């Protein structure tokens, strides 16, 4: 799909109103700060996407004045971030949420994903079970303490995204072993 450029939020809303139920994705060219020709911002585009049950994902460079941002329908069972939960609640309060967005929210509330939204990196805390495992494994504890913020968040997110208590226990053991081994920590992934 060719990248699209919107100079007004209403134009992006109109495109999604016509295509949110049939299009698989949309790539938007978003102007960087100070660009000669402004566009809607990534935050504005993201708010509109949430209203229609879509979500932002990949970001790529385009040129000196723009980057590309991908938007697509939210996948079935996809986790919600607390940031997007808060944004959705603000959009509801402002009267901007559309039926497709409400459906995504109601589904997430009914299956527990809404209440289990993951925190942003700046607010992520080390879970108690991980703290206990690190106390029992000094090599893993030393490695965890030496990780940068992004790698720590990756470990925390992997653990807290487990779908069940049994899966969480298995992930905790695997993450502790990974930390103790000194192997590279994969980047954060939500799924």
Domain boundaries, the chain: 9-111, 121-181
Q: What is the distance between the alpha carbons of residues 99 and 107, in angstroms, rounded to a whole number? A: 12
Whole-model pTM above 0.75?
Answer: yes
The answer to whether 130 touches 156, Cβ cutoff 8 Å, is yes
The model's pLDDT over 42-89, given as tens digits with 9 standing for 90+, comes to 999 999 999 999 999 999 999 999 999 999 999 998 999 999 999 999
**66 bridge partner residues:** 31
Nearest CA among 57, 51, 151, 148 for reference residue 99? 51
pLDDT at 109 over 70: yes
Under DSSP, the state recorded for 33 is T
The model's pLDDT over 125-182, given as tens digits with 9 standing for 90+, comes to 999 999 999 999 999 999 999 999 999 999 999 998 887 889 999 999 999 999 999 9
Q: What is the pLDDT confidence band of residue 191, given thresholds at 50, 70 and 90?
A: low
> Is 15 buried (19+), middle (13-18) or exposed (0-12) by CB count in 10 A?
middle
For CA atoms 153, 155, 160, 162, give the dihedral sign. positive
What is the structure's pLDDT at 161? Answer: 84
């Amino acid at each position: 799909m060719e990248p699209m450029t919107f100079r007004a939020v209403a134009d992006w809303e109109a495109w999604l109103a016509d295509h949110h139920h049939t299009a698989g994705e949309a790539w938007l060219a978003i102007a960087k700060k100070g660009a000669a020709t402004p566009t809607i911002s990534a935050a504005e585009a993201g708010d509109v996407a949430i209203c229609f049950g879509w979500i932002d994902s990949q970001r790529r460079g385009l040129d000196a004045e723009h980057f590309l941002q991908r938007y697509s329908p939210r996948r079935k069972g996809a986790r919600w971030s607390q940031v997007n939960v808060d944004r959705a609640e603000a959009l509801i309060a402002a009267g901007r949420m559309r039926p497709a967005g409400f459906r995504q929210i109601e589904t997430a509330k009914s299956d527990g994903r809404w209440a289990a939204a993951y925190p942003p990196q700046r607010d992520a805390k080390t879970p108690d079970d991980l703290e206990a495992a690190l106390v029992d494994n000094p090599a893993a504890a030393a490695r965890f303490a030496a990780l940068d913020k992004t790698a720590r968040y990756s470990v925390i997110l992997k653990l807290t995204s487990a779908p069940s208590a049994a899966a969480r226990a298995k992930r905790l053991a695997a993450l502790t072993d990974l930390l103790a081994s000194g192997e590279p920590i994969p980047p954060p992934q939500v799924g």
